Chain A
């Protein structure tokens, strides 16, 4: 079989997805046998970002204008483009910046802003069509393999779209929201991590971002009833989901309240 051409692109992020990808854990030989790493900066010098690519993986939020241009070029060059990791999928942590006046945020960091050219942080699909989302921070291992094998076999990838709660119950964890009164984001968060936080005795902080059509205002109401302050509720929905419609609904509701 001809190897498929793979490109891995990093924008504004911690590069954890590349790092994670570089060790596709137990599958290094298989991945190398099936893919040509045409471009992946963390692993290889002398790569070319020009393509064409059979599969492009994009990590990081888009926070500078040149990234948009390059991203569009990559999209044109790629048969399949997957957003990998919460920054690329939902804007992730970098999107917190946009919850307050951005210039203030920038001024807190740099005295001289003349060489800083940041634009409002967004997920990758704000600019280009995305063929699939490998969610999570770090991304779910299973979803990464699903993306890779789907491209290899020419089928549509299948990613979970339900709540963390389902995974949590499948694991048999006693619910931390109900039993321990912890403000768990699991009910509105997309599955994929295997309900890691509740399994470690803590509330989910939604590092996988909102699930499709999450009813975040209803959860915000529940948090309020639990005695959680308005600001704390807003923070819950803006840690990873600041750039998502689903979580903005909760924030708006709390503001209007």
Chain B
């Protein structure tokens, strides 16, 4: 992220056991966060030992980036209101943490969040946590029902050059460990076997076989201006009225949705006000309301905002807003599927 001297991007094969032991050895300096099985699902949370990790997970409901880097709820300022008002700026708390097992889509989503929070205006809380977080990505071994990352280039294997620290690929009893940052290079002491051309070929084969397993896809090359040209396509209105609940689950589970609200809360004695930030969603009817009007009064307009922000509107950051994790499809109560909406519109065009 910041100007780093060049480091050695080495690749090694490490027995899984040894790797996890190494992880545990870091726990004295780092909080360890990773996928943990709860019931039929996996969630990212802090663990006391690598034994709790469930590295074979499919996908989680909430992404690690929007739990441990960009926080759902964050206190920013405290105002003391008696007499002359004073502002207390809450200092960023940035414990050192390792997030292990981050799938490629979620790493890409973090890189997307970087564009919002480390742009012209940098958010000190996000930045501090980002600096203190070691991201160990894990290439996928399973394609979940709604994944379409391969269509948008965000998975199933990670190809981003930087912005994370290590990349693991499951090699049965071993991990292929690729070092991607100086921090990781310094921390990683295991020798293992050095990975050569054969291993990289094997990795490429694995990726290929993974790619063949996708059930969901989207044809991005055919997107062009298609959304802008079909603003009033009946699919929007129809899907919105028939199915969309404006519940905002799609936005809440989306790993790239960055919108937030700033809220003030006053203590009952009126002496302190806390200003905090928390996730907001464009599906909320108040989201775009101003005096005299609401730019997205219609449910269809709100639904369209979500879908087009993910698949169109690339003028914003120069990349797609979606990483193809499929979460918004999985967790939408009525199963609204942005890939289907897109297909419907593409059908219309051709």
Contacts and interface: CB of A to CB of B under 8 A. Distances in A.
Q: Do chains A and B touch in the complex (CB under 8 A)?
A: yes
Interface of A: 24, 27, 30-31, 33-34, 142, 145-146, 148-149, 152-153, 158, 161-163, 165-166, 169-170, 172, 174-175, 177-179, 184, 186-188, 211-215, 218-219, 221-222
Contact of A149 (B43, B266, B299): B266
A214 B263 contact: no
Interface string B268-293: 11100000001101001110000000
B248 A163 contact: yes
Contacts of B264: 158
B140 interface: no
Interface stretch (B19-27, B113-121, B239-247): B239-247
Closest 3 CB pairs of A and B: A169-B252, A187-B247, A27-B268
Given A142-B265, A149-B268, A153-B266, 11 more contacts: A34-B268, A158-B264, A162-B248, A165-B248, A165-B333, A166-B247, A172-B43, A174-B41, A184-B333, A219-B333, A222-B333
Nearest to B73: A170
A187 B284 contact: no
17 contacts: A30-B269, A31-B268, A34-B270, A152-B270, A153-B266, A163-B246, A163-B247, A163-B248, A169-B252, A169-B279, A170-B73, A175-B331, A178-B333, A213-B299, A214-B245, A215-B299, A221-B243
Interface residues of B, number: 40
B281 A162 contact: yes
A222 B62 contact: no
Contacts of A174: 38-39, 41, 43, 61
B40 interface: yes
Given A149-B270, A166-B284, A213 B333 contact: no
A197 B289 CA distance: 30
Given A170-B278, A222-B334, A213 B43 contact: no
A219 B242 CA distance: 9
Contacts of A177: 333
B294 to A, nearest CB: 11
B67 interface: yes
B144 to A, nearest CB: 13
B249 to A, nearest CB: 5
Contacts of B73: 170
B285 A175 contact: no
Nearest to B240: A215
Contact of B249 (A145, A148, A187, A215): A187
Contacts, number: 116
Nearest to B45: A172
Interface of B: 38-41, 43, 61-62, 67, 72-73, 241-249, 252-253, 263-270, 278-279, 281, 284-286, 299, 330-331, 333-334
A158 B279 CA distance: 16
A161 B261 CA distance: 13
B contacts with A: majority SS: loop
A213 B245 CA distance: 9
Contacts of B67: 172
Contacts of A161: 284-286
A153 B61 CA distance: 40
Given A24-B268, A162-B281, A214 B286 contact: no
Most buried by A among B62, B244, B333: B333
A214 B247 CA distance: 9
B62 A178 contact: no
A172 B61 CA distance: 8
A50 B161 CA distance: 73
Given A148-B268, A153-B266, A214-B245, A166 B252 contact: yes
A188 B285 CA distance: 12
A34 B245 CA distance: 41
Contacts of A34: 268, 270
A202 B244 CA distance: 23
Contacts of A149: 266-268, 270
Contacts of B284: 161-162, 166
B123 to A, nearest CB: 18
B272 to A, nearest CB: 11
